[in-house]
Chain A
Amino acid sequence: AQSVTQPDIHITVSEGASLELRCNYSYGATPYLFWYVQSPGQGLQLLLKYFSGDTLVQGIKGFEAEFKRSQSSFNLRKPSVHWSDAAEYFCAVGPHNTDKLIFGTGTRLQVFP
């Protein structure tokens, strides 16, 4: 069955530190992969997506993610975190030939000054 795992429920980092949020998926082929962010009171906003081609994708707000087929992973990274990055981050897969997205449980990021 298709699924997404985000192993880290809650991560705390200092402002200016680097960040990596983990995402592993289970899917028979190469899925469409997404990272969404949700700030308090806001909807889910798309940070970046991977469909094919270059396995390192750049997104908004200085985020990037790398697709690693051998590890079934799509980890999100940012070299230097800002206090405004504090939010909930969701990894999702989009199976082919379907409308739906399959989400992970999310990782809550807390940023200390």
Chain B
Amino acid sequence: EPEVTQTPSHQVTQMGQEVILRCVPISNHLYFYWYRQILGQKVEFLVSFYNNEISEKSEIFDDQFSVERPDGSNFTLKIRSTKLEDSAMYFCASSEQTGSIYEQYFGPGTRLTVT
């Protein structure tokens, strides 16, 4: 069964460093998402992406964050200058169609630890 994959599973970085989290969505999906979960808190929507453009973003997704589909298979989330409060589990998801009515398939997550 097709699945969303994410690398690395765990990333440790120092405050102020740039990190890139990578995701490979399901191959025939066209809509991509990033969510994050700070320990003990809710899973929060960050951004959705389609046709090489951001479709929707939350207030969390500020100028420190960017997303990109650099090739036909990868979808990345970049944090330019990490802060301690960026420590969280980051989930990538993809779907065939847009809109919350359509099932989003999630990857296993990348745990980001900022020290």
Contact = CB atoms under 8 A, between A and B. Distances in A.
Main DSSP-derived SS at the B contact region:
loop
A41 B108 contact: yes
B33 A99 contact: yes
Main DSSP-derived SS at the A contact region:
loop
A98 B91 CA distance: 18
Contacts of A42: 108
A102 B108 CA distance: 18
Interface stretch (A45-53, A67-75, A78-86): A45-53
Interface residues of A, number: 26
Interface in A1-60: 4, 32, 36, 41-46, 49, 51
A103 B100 contact: no
Residue in A90, A98, A105, A106 with the greatest tally of chain B CB atoms within 10 Å: A98
Contacts of B108: 41-43
Given A32-B100, A43-B3, A105 B41 contact: yes
A46 B100 contact: no
A44 B31 CA distance: 17
Contacts of A106: 42-43
19 contacts: A32-B100, A32-B101, A41-B108, A43-B3, A43-B105, A44-B106, A46-B104, A49-B103, A51-B101, A94-B99, A94-B101, A98-B56, A99-B33, A99-B99, A100-B48, A103-B35, A103-B43, A103-B44, A105-B40
